[in-house]
Structure 1
Amino acid sequence: MKSTSPAILLVDDDPVALQIIQRILQANGFGNVELCSESLEALEMVKTRSVAVMLLDLFMPKRSGFEVLQQMVQDFPDIPVIVLTSDDTIDAAVRCMKIGAFDFMTKPVDRHRLASAVNHALRVRELEKRLTLFGEEPPEEVAGPREPGVFSGIITRSPRMQAIFQYIEAIAPSPKAVLITGESGTGKELLARAIHQAGDREGPFVAVNVAGLDDVLFSDTLFGHLRGAFTGADRSRGGLVERAQGGTLFLDEIGDLEPLSQVKLLRLIQEGEYYPLGSDEPRQASIRIVAATNADLLERQHQGTFRKDLYYRLVSHRIRVPALRERREDIPLLVDHFVAEAAAELGEPAPAVSDDALRLLARAGYPGNIRELQAIVADAVSRARGGELPLSVIREYFRTTQGESVRGDFGEDQGVREGAGVSPGGGRSLAAGEVSPEGFQGERLSWSGSFPMLAEAERFLITEALRRCDNNQTAAAQLLGVSQSTLSRWLRKNAPGQNA
């Protein structure tokens, strides 16, 4: 019976080599191995079949392994390519790794190293798939990282974040670039530092925000300059690439990089070399690039403002950081941490956080994510009197910044939009049949007029949850206490034109 699992595709024009490597793989438990003796046919197989890993020989007729590798990196960046070749020169290895090979080994291959490399490639690919799936449907439980100390600076118990930690540990030894995406304030730089700490690089971690840097300033900041390179350059100065030698260079807001600067960054990643301003001689760089952005780089490609070839160099490994509304289980931990942190900075005892205050904070949308939560808590701590975090300060923040106040089990109008009518009982005046989750008190919903039908209440609550979460289905599902797939099924069933 033919296996339906993704295949390991072995590409080599030597039939003896194909048989030997196939036997090694099968002896190590890899049952689904497909053989291909022509490079052009291999590229067609990748398009039509499920391939998990490619093992590629360099020297083949019609199209060389170098060309196949380059096309794989460009068109199928999610498929790791391990190069197997009789060319044991340093130049060949360096060239392959620069193009984007996952690993490089010479023939005759060491069977244990081959099995280890394939296992590692499969693990990285599986973790990438899990991270993609977790963006759709959050897992209930995920094992933590092997080295939790590396991630001690990141406060979380979220299964999504634990999955990211696992992925970081898997890609830490890789020299390839990493792209971290996510909304502003989600902690992308903390993850970049964790990638550096999880690896074995001895050099430093150097961070720079490239937003707003024109091409000259970008070049001077990263690459440095020679004496006399421009007016006022009375001495030579090294750039951040030189400072990060042997370590990690973190480029924040990479989506705002100017086109000319993108060309220079591409050369740095692809060739491992750069030119200081005023120099005609390239210098070599041994650094790992980690980039971050809150922009949609695919959309910017379509707009012509971000290079496609640079994008594919950056997404060798990629991480999407969930927004705070997608990991609400972390809010109590973060609140406790920020309260203690703010109190220590003020030299005051930490105020207590009431259940009412915590419920209020746990329900907010946080467009500014963790950074916004930190600012809210810090301000409340600075204005605390009587040993408790002031609820009125938090409520006033949401009222002034979001145009609404938030109400929990403790009274006051939750979610009453400015200009809406308020009933004498403190709730919003509603039309007959309209149900308001905004008047939620314990286990009661307040309404006026005729008693609503269950379907009306269900539709209103789902519509309101989606509104509060900017139509993010994952966040709305969490707010409603259902799975994202359950919410998606309801939306499909109740879409306009469908029978409810």
Structure 2
Amino acid sequence: MRKPEEESILFVDDDIIALSLYETILKNAGYENIIVSSDGREVANILRDNNVSLVLLDINMPVMSGIEVLENITEGYPGLPVIMITGDEDLQTAVRCMKIGAYNYLAKPPEKTRLVTAVSHALEWRDLNSELSAMGSRVLNRDSLEKPEAFSSMITGSDSMLAVFQYVEAVAATSRPVLITGESGTGKELLARAIHNASGRQGALVTVNAAGLDDALFSDTLFGHKKGAFTDAGNDRPGLVEKAAGGTLFLDEIGDLAPASQVKLLRLLQEKEYYPLGSDDPLTTDARIVAATCINLSSRLEDGRFRRDLYFRLMAHHVSLPLLRERREDMMPLAEAFIKEAAEELGKGIPRIPAELEAMLNLYDFPGNVRELHSLVFDALSRTSGSTLNLTPFRDLVGNNDMPETREPGEVQNLDYDGLVNLFGHFPTVKEINDIVFLAALNKADGNQSLASRLLGVNQSTLSRRISKG
């Protein structure tokens, strides 16, 4: 990140006194190059003629409103952060600005420390975006990572996961929160540990599962309590926020937080302050917050179960983990690693892996993701008594896996005479249709006749005869 004196910051506000105040505050903080304007119509020319790093923009201006100026900036300079400043504290206005592309939103007049902090974070975000843009041209492999050891517990060779690793490296050293989203079993806790390891923070990684915590338990768990705070509080007890000092606080299942707990977490993120139960004196923390959820928070915003302001705070950095079925190239390496792990834990030798396993993995969608694969491998090894891995758990899954819904001939869409002609280039014979269906099943099963016959709903002997006939 560049030094403050190297940054160029534009203030736009029709209030001349406010412009002078903002300029003084930032110059005292070390930001030397401040450009001011009282007319939104001047912004386009200023941005064209100056290498501006950040714009602070008043919403309520005559002639050309701040929102109009914001729309022009986000269209012409999409990587330029904009902080909106206004006396209008209407939440809907804030949400509208954020949706258009504003980086942040401050109430007017902003407190000195908050203004300087907001500017610092916005410039940090700008530098991060520049780094991420540069990453797009890099080759995706572990050799391109600066700290590959931080991700050693995550087995992958897929581009989607390696892109996640590169993003994590880019954001790991910042103090901003990270929100990890993804279905259950995709590896959110492992990624949180990787973020902590890549950050270089000297403190501990402290994990809290927020699912099922009411507000009282949430507050006591995170913030601790003073002696006498409640009936059984015989002594002071520090909370997990204090234990995470200098490190990372990982909040899992954040989507289940009670409304009162969301307010307290928002304060922790905004002010870096919290109150132990029974205390009127706030404590401060330098712990970095990483949160995770498998819940669609956007839907909870709509029905009011999750606060919009908290959501935007958590979304400073966002990582969405891909499903296992979206990175099938990782299935066999994961299975092999889990077999070794299970063999060691169960005190068994590493069994031979039948070639059929890979085809079976490709036929199943793993709704439980990596966690489900892990459990299946342990179950299979537990059943193994000889030198070859017992595939019964996998066969049961493939056999019971949902097959395409059977339709009556009249229900099949777009496969009338014209549809078939469009598909084949002519009206096909029964043999041509059989050929294409049989070949598709064999390709899906990677040539495994047992699995292909299951897909086709025929006996394996029937499939074998069909193949032998050509």
- The TM-score with structure 1 as length reference comes to 0.65
Rounded to whole Å, the distance in 2 between the matches of 1:398 and 1:255 is 33
Q: Deviations over 1:296-342 (max 9, x none)?
A: 10101111111111111110110100010011110111011000000
Which residue of structure 2 aligns with residue 54 of structure 1?
80
1:451 maps to a residue whose letter is K
Contact 2:57 2:82 in 1 (8 A): no
* Cα-to-partner distance string for 1:142-191 (whole Å, 9 max, x where unaligned): 24422211111110001001111111111112211111000000000111
2:450 maps to 1:450: no
Report deviation, 1:230: 1.1
Aligned to 2:218: 218
How far off is 1:273 after superposition?
Answer: 0.8
CA contact (8 A) 2:324 2:366 kept: yes
Q: Which residue of 2 aligns with 1:142?
A: 140
Matches within 5 A, 1:322-471: 322-399=322-399, 403-404=400-401, 450-451=430-431, 453=433
AA at the equivalent of 2:69:
M
Give the aligned residue type for 1:102: H
Matched letter for residue 53 of structure 1: G
- Counterparts of 2:100 and 2:114, CA distance in 1: 19
Is 1:44 the counterpart of 2:68? The answer is yes
2:255 alignment partner AA: G
Equivalent residues of 1:252, 1:291 under 8 A apart: yes
Distance 1:36 1:276 in 2: 36
The answer to whether 1:254 aligns with 2:254 is yes
Say if 2:131 and 2:170, in contact at 8 Å, map to a contact too: yes
Q: Give unpaired runs (5+ residues) of structure 1.
A: 1-7, 84-90, 105-115, 131-138, 406-414, 421-428, 435-448, 466-500
Once residues 192 and 308 of structure 1 are traced to their aligned partners in structure 2, the CA distance between those partners, rounded to angstroms, is: 23
Q: Are the equivalent residues in 1 in contact too, given 2:201–2:246 (CA < 8 A)?
A: yes
The one-letter code of the counterpart of 1:236 is D
Give the superposition deviation at 1:82: 13
- By how many angstroms is 1:378 displaced? 0.7
In the other structure, the counterpart of 1:480 is: none
Determine helix, strand or coil for the equivalent of 1:208: strand
117-126 or 298-307, which deviates more: 117-126
Change beyond 3 A, Cα 1:249–1:170:
same
Tell me which protein shows more helix as a share of its residues: 2
**Residue 304 and residue 348 in structure 1: after superposition, are their counterparts in 2 closer, same or farther (change >3 A)?**
same
CA spacing shift, 1:183–1:270, aligned 2, 3 Å: same
Q: Secondary structure at the match of 2:173?
A: coil
Task: Give the one of 121, 129, 132 matched to 1:102.
Answer: 121
> Where does structure 2 lack aligned partners over 5 or more consecutive residues?
1-7, 14-18, 24-32, 37-43, 413-428, 446-470
Per-residue deviation, 1:45: 2.7
SS at match of 1:102: helix
Give 3-state SS (helix, strand or coil) of 2:431's partner: coil
Q: CA deviation at 1:95?
A: 4.9
What is the CA distance between 1:275 and its match in structure 2?
1.0
| CA distance, structure 1, for counterparts of residue 410 and residue 105 of structure 2 | 66
Q: CA RMSD in A?
A: 4.5
Q: Distance in 1 between matches of 2:56 and 2:267?
A: 33
Q: Which amino acid aligns with 1:334?
A: L
| Structure with bigger gyration radius | 2
Percent identity over paired residues: 40
Deviation at 1:404, TM superposition (A): 3.6
Match of 1:120 among 128, 142, 149: 128
Q: CA deviation at 1:392?
A: 2.6
Q: Give the Å deviation of 1:123.
A: 2.6
* 1:423-461 deviation digits (Å, cap 9, x = unpaired): xxxxxx998999xxxxxxxxxxxxxx9335599969x99
Q: CA deviation at 1:198?
A: 1.3
Partner residue, 2:453: none
Q: Residue 278 and residue 158 in structure 1: after superposition, are their counterparts in 2 closer, same or farther (change >3 A)?
A: same
Asked if the contact 1:52–1:125 (Cα under 8 Å) also holds between the matched residues in 2, the reply is no
Q: How does 1:8-87 map to 2 (within 5 A)?
A: 10-11=10-11, 17-18=34-35, 41-48=65-72, 49-50=74-75, 51-54=77-80, 63=86, 71=94, 75-76=98-99
Match of 2:309 in 1: 309
Conservation of the 8 A alpha-carbon contact between 2:154 and 2:190: yes
Quick one: structure 1 residues 355 and 226, their matched pair in 2 at CA, closer, same or farther if it must change by over 3 Å?
Answer: same
Contact 1:11/1:57, CA 8 A, preserved across alignment: no
Q: 1:52 touches 1:79 (CA, 8 Å); kept in 2?
A: no
Instruction: Using the TM superposition, give the Cα deviation of residue 264 of structure 1 relative to its aligned residue in structure 2, in angstroms.
Output: 0.8
1:296 equivalent in structure 2: 296
TM-score, normalization: structure 2?
A: 0.69
Deviation at 1:43, TM superposition (A): 3.9
What does residue 158 of structure 2 align with? Answer: 158
User: Are residues 118 and 75 of structure 1, via their aligned partners in 2, closer, same or farther at CA, if it must alter by over 3 Å?
Assistant: closer
Give yes or no for contact 1:11–1:55 (8 Å, CA) kept in 2: no
User: Compared with structure 1, are the counterparts of its residues 34 and 306 closer, same or farther at alpha carbon in structure 2 (3 Å cutoff)?
Assistant: closer
Instruction: Write the distance in 2 (CA, Å) between the matches of 1:209 and 1:282.
Output: 24
Partner of 2:280: 280
Whole-Å Cα distance in 1 between the matches of residues 217 and 119 of structure 2? 29
Q: Is the CA contact (8 Å cut-off) linking 1:74 and 1:312 kept in structure 2?
A: no
| 2:10–2:34 contact (8 Å) kept in structure 1 | no
